[in-house]
Structure 1
Amino acid sequence: MSNARIGLIGLGTMGAALALNIADNGFPIAVWNRTTATTQEFHAGAGDLAGMITPTETLEELVASIAKPRAIILMVPAGQAVDDQIAALRPLLDDDDLIIDAGNANFHDTNRRADAAGDLPFLGIGVSGGEEGARFGPSIMGGGKRAYWDRVSDVLNAIAAKHDDTACATWMGEGGAGHFVKAVHNGIEYADMQMIAEVYGIMRDGMDMAPAAIGETFAAWDDGPLKSYLVEISGKVAAATDPKTGKPMLEVIVDAAGQKGTGRWTVIEAQHLAAPIPAIEAAVVARNLSSQLETRQAGEALFGAAPHHLPHDTLTLGTLEQALMAGKILCYAQGFDMIVKASESFGWALPLPEIAKVWRAGCIIRSAMLDDMATALGEDTGRNLMFAPRFATLLQENHNALRQVVAQAALHGLPLPALSSGLAYFDTMRTGRGTANMIQGQRDFFGAHGFARVDGGSGHHGPWGS
């Protein structure tokens, strides 16, 4: 019986949560999972929502359960699994039925799939917020033809997070635009998390603070201008106790960070776009280095542990808060600048103010700053965010704190890859005449590449051969 408003394939953590969210918002949904037992267990555990959910055992049964024109969400692992699922599903659908890839796809794959679909309806949407967001309201970034987005926008707006009663769900542009914006979101997420971790390291190793005190500090910062989801949960992580040992939770967690590759995609694409995102790149490198536990331990044995401990009153918690503020602005500025470069390169006309608004709730990088960022981007979408009056003022007030933190950390062996890269970016972006003239001289010397002169003209050569 064709009574479901929408279908969903893939009942993993995110897929199951999203299906419950859809049902909870009043939309009948049909679901299918490759393992039938998983489908049955999901339906049995749906409680009061079970009546809104149609469990199916075959793709044919799934398709037959959805009202025409059909729309089916794929929540399967990125890569070949998506292509395989589309290939299995498409022959069972009518020409006007819509397939929606809502997984963590590489936007190049989404572009390819949209091209392969031709006139057959296809969307690629980025969904951020983790399991809790998927269940109770994620941030949704749509890509594909606008007409296809409009067909399901009632569902997507209903299930999305809300900020001041505005749905955090927006159409970003054609093809892989939605998945591209999600990738940049994840890149900013990597940098924000890394900077918080670096500040945690200063408090732990440089200031000898106990996890509980660190948790209290993050909690206090979350009541101020740094208010954000990541600062909030960092306080909760630091304050937590391991139920098995009674030790602070952070003391029993292995110092090796996992990743699913989305941050790496962002960094690779930034290189193709010539978009400078050094804080995000540093955060990805830091995760890669974190996995080299044995190598790092061997390095400590060979070179000795750095001193770490900061002399009394070298840095204050207020200085750390200001440094994190400056670093946060700089990593967001880099992310939005990358979006501008992509918009120009791919002809997407990505809506920067709307992107900032979509990120205000539901997603991992939601932050109190995003309201002001949306306003600043609306005033001038081509301007680097750090030059907008509001954020320029904040950087003027806080960059010296970032400088103090980076300098003292360097003197005492505390690694701050993301915060250091953010500071270097800031200093480069406020240096009217840098040192690339030396690089141009070198390039001309060994390769006769030529250079522009300050008194006019290009293609000049130096007297190296004379």
Structure 2
Amino acid sequence: MSKLMYDFGLVGLGVMGHNFILNVADNDFTVCGLDLDEEKVRSLIEAGGDSQKVTATTEVGTFVTSLSSPRKIMLLVPAGDLVDKAIESLLPHLDQGDIIIDGGNSFFTNTDRREAYLKEKGINFFGAGVSGGAEGARKGPSIMPGGNKEAYEYIRPIFEAASAKFKGEPCVTYLGPKSAGNYVKMVHNGIEYGLMQLTSEIYDVLKKTCDLSNDELSATFDQWNKGRLQSFLIEITAEIFMKDDNIAEGRLVDNILDKARQKGTGKWTSQNAMDLGIPVPSIDIAVSMREISALKDIRLKADEIYSRPEPVVRDKSELLKQAEEALYFSFIVTYAQGLHQLAEASESYGYELNLSEVAKIWRAGCIIRAALLDDISTTFSEAPGLKNILMATSFVTKVQAALPSVRALVSHGVKSGIPLPGLSNSLTYFDAFTSGRLPLNLIQAQRDHFGSHTYERIDQEGIFHTDW
């Protein structure tokens, strides 16, 4: 290694780390990588070419001393114990005021713990969610940092340069103190689960009741991607249907086993929403469907035991119209649920989130990027105290217009025996959220009957109990 002092350090030179550090270097910062794997170190140095801007090492001490002060070190290692081990390996070599950034999907309470621990030692710690996959890391991801606001100024130029851009605006901003960044990334991933589940259901109903070929499915999603459903997930779905299988005959999508895996961020979103008392059923069911999909052996046996109705064949043009409107409605509802959770978490955990800014940095680079987010950002900007976009005038018209198609499509799925839990949960959430009177009065009566849990009345204030 040369004696040049490097602007930015990165620990963990897997695909994400390798790509992100080269991205930073492309934006005229000098970078140094650290990995215990000599091959990964060698690969990064080779990728940097003859440039003096990129280097790497397997030695922690050499790595830290090569960085300019305050040292700005990003960790891109798997969440969990490896993050703590990486921090402990760095600590003996750091000075007060240095900055460590966890770029992985760490659970937000772990980030709070690490931030408090390092603060005692005079080290600034950031949880910074990074979304966009390997390609985003290389070409520009959406970055969600949270931590000390003053210390963020040292990393802001690097993150703004390396992030994705939407009409010239960087898809990164300071979100708030402590674990604000990791929390926002967690909910981002929960929304991602919901959108993916919804897209898969639309695929299922179109394939089973319209008998659309993969070519037709691709053309449909490609057309939708040119309209109000424009988004990364719709774009790649169109591409997926056209991919030939290089092992067997036909298209690859038809030979992929229907068992979806998960890394936990969707589950965390769902669990924490329950802790906060915020309903996110479109996200909840997306997590549950991945769990159901894992029960492949049992599902196959159950399929032989139970009969189901034959899919009701529908007019193609009518069904496609309903499918587009239902998907658009459900996308809105899923974003609404996730952002409502962020609004409540911001108050409960002191994040001071600006939801307009959150939606802004999701407009490019990240997995849930979509044209819809521009409207969402504008809506929150115009109504800063808003918690749920379903209450915004600008969304009432959009949602109201789509409702007949949503109801028709969900009904069509029920009649055809096709599970549409994401779509139906989105509709049920909407119907409950917009109902001035729910049957929960009966539940309160039951609770008081068997457990003397008391109830409130509609005609006078106070807490009541009845001897049933």
Q: Structure 2 CA distance, aligned partners of 1:308 and 1:233?
A: 27
Specify the alignment match of 1:6 in structure 2.
8
Distance apart, 1:382 and its partner CA: 2.6
Specify the alignment match of 1:329 in structure 2.
332
After superposition, the C-alpha distances for 1:381-421 in whole angstroms (9 at most, x for unaligned) are: 33410121121111100011111111110111111111111
Q: For residue 66 of structure 2, what is the amino acid of its counterpart?
A: S
Confirm or deny that 1:186 pairs with 2:189.
Answer: yes
Q: How many residues align?
A: 463
Q: Structure 2 CA distance, aligned partners of 1:364 and 1:270?
A: 21
Q: Structure 2 CA distance, aligned partners of 1:177 and 1:11?
A: 25
Specify the alignment match of 2:294 in structure 1.
291
| 1:24-423 map, 5 Å | 24-47=26-49, 50-118=51-119, 119-312=122-315, 316-380=319-383, 381-423=385-427
Answer whether contact 2:144 2:181 (CA < 8 A) is retained.
yes
Q: Structure 1 CA distance, aligned partners of 2:190 and 2:204?
A: 21
Distance apart, 1:215 and its partner CA: 0.6
After superposition, the C-alpha distances for 1:335-385 in whole angstroms (9 at most, x for unaligned) are: 010001101111211110000000000000111111110111112233410
Q: Structure 2 CA distance, aligned partners of 1:57 and 1:384?
A: 48
Q: For residue 67 of structure 2, what is the amino acid of its counterpart?
A: I
After superposition, the C-alpha distances for 1:134-157 in whole angstroms (9 at most, x for unaligned) are: 111100111101011111100000
After superposition, the C-alpha distances for 1:76-130 in whole angstroms (9 at most, x for unaligned) are: 0001100011011111111121111111111111011001112321111011111
Distance apart, 1:55 and its partner CA: 1.4
Change (3 A) 1:155 1:311: closer
Q: Secondary structure at the match of 2:175?
A: strand
Determine which of 415, 423, 429 is the counterpart of 1:425: 429
Q: For residue 194 of structure 2, what is the amino acid of its counterpart?
A: A
Determine which of 446, 457, 461 is the counterpart of 1:457: 461
Q: Secondary structure at the match of 1:8?
A: strand
After superposition, the C-alpha distances for 1:188-235 in whole angstroms (9 at most, x for unaligned) are: 111001100000001111211111110100000001111111111101
Distance apart, 1:313 and its partner CA: 5.8
Change (3 A) 1:47 1:214: farther
Q: Structure 2 CA distance, aligned partners of 1:309 and 1:396?
A: 26
Distance apart, 1:459 and its partner CA: 1.3
Answer whether contact 2:129 2:143 (CA < 8 A) is retained.
yes
After superposition, the C-alpha distances for 1:251-279 in whole angstroms (9 at most, x for unaligned) are: 11111112111111111111111110000
Q: Structure 1 CA distance, aligned partners of 2:244 and 2:406?
A: 31
Q: Secondary structure at the match of 2:182?
A: helix
Distance apart, 1:458 and its partner CA: 2.3
Answer whether contact 1:123 1:148 (CA < 8 A) is retained.
no
Q: Secondary structure at the match of 1:127?
A: strand
Distance apart, 1:180 and its partner CA: 0.2
**TM-score, with length taken from structure 1:** 0.97
After superposition, the C-alpha distances for 1:290-317 in whole angstroms (9 at most, x for unaligned) are: 1111111011011135523434469510
Q: Percent identity?
A: 39
Q: Structure 1 CA distance, aligned partners of 2:281 and 2:317?
A: 27
Answer whether contact 1:122 1:148 (CA < 8 A) is retained.
no
Q: Structure 2: which 5+ residue stretches go unaligned?
A: none
Q: For residue 389 of structure 2, what is the amino acid of its counterpart?
A: L
Answer whether contact 1:2 1:67 (CA < 8 A) is retained.
no
Q: Secondary structure at the match of 1:316?
A: helix
Q: Structure 1 CA distance, aligned partners of 2:259 and 2:48?
A: 35
After superposition, the C-alpha distances for 1:230-249 in whole angstroms (9 at most, x for unaligned) are: 11110110122113334012
Q: For residue 7 of structure 2, what is the amino acid of its counterpart?
A: R
After superposition, the C-alpha distances for 1:24-45 in whole angstroms (9 at most, x for unaligned) are: 1111101011212221123223
Q: Structure 2 CA distance, aligned partners of 1:329 and 1:311?
A: 26
Q: For residue 7 of structure 1, what is the amino acid of its counterpart?
A: G
Answer whether contact 1:206 1:414 (CA < 8 A) is retained.
no
Q: Structure 2 CA distance, aligned partners of 1:180 and 1:174?
A: 11
**TM-score, with length taken from structure 2:** 0.96
Answer whether contact 1:111 1:176 (CA < 8 A) is retained.
yes
Q: Structure 2 CA distance, aligned partners of 1:61 and 1:306?
A: 67
Answer whether contact 2:309 2:415 (CA < 8 A) is retained.
no
Q: Structure 2 CA distance, aligned partners of 1:65 and 1:268?
A: 42
Q: For residue 440 of structure 1, what is the amino acid of its counterpart?
A: Q
